[in-house]
Amino acid sequence: MTAETSALDPLDRRIIDILRGDGRISWRELADRVHLAPSSAADRVRRLESAGLIRGYQARIDPRALGRDVRAVVDVALPPGVDPAQFEEILRQREEVALAVYVTGPADYTIIVDCAGAEGLDAFIRWLKAEGGVARTESKFVLRPVIG
């Protein structure tokens, strides 16, 4: 636990939880939900931003609206000699990639992708092997999200 997180009071934690669910909430609505004046709620959010606890806000895009109706988790193993930094750079070029993390275990990376059907996933995996120098992949289709 860092000094910043240990100094959070329950109200700060509640504000963070609310902003996780709706980063566009108005100061007035946020204030109503945490029982503060709007200016006090805004001051707390600005303090959390200044401390680096809130690093930004994002739009959550529905991949289905972009024609990507299949979400999959792809574990990737790189062969010896493939530069991880180079692999990560080419991975950033792909719009299908929702999240990519470097992990421990038999895989080197776990990648969450949103693809246009099984054909799109197949094309992505073929691209990984051809352009990324990937040795092995293991894919799982996401049936439904539980958290996040």
What does the pLDDT read at residue 132? 87
* 60 pLDDT higher than 90: no
For residue 61, give both structure tokens. Answer: 């895009």
Encoded amino acid at 47, one letter: R
Which whole number is the average pLDDT over 109-136? 95
Dihedrals φ, ψ of 75, to 5°?
Answer: -90, 135
What does the pLDDT read at residue 5? 52
Domain residue spans of the chain:
3-50, 63-141
For residue 90, give both structure tokens. Answer: 């080419």
Out of 3.10.20.30, 2.40.50.140, 3.40.228.10, 1.10.10.10, which CATH number does the structure's domain 3-50 have? 1.10.10.10
Out of 3.30.43.10, 1.20.1250.20, 3.30.479.10, 3.30.70.920, which CATH number does the structure's domain 63-141 have? 3.30.70.920
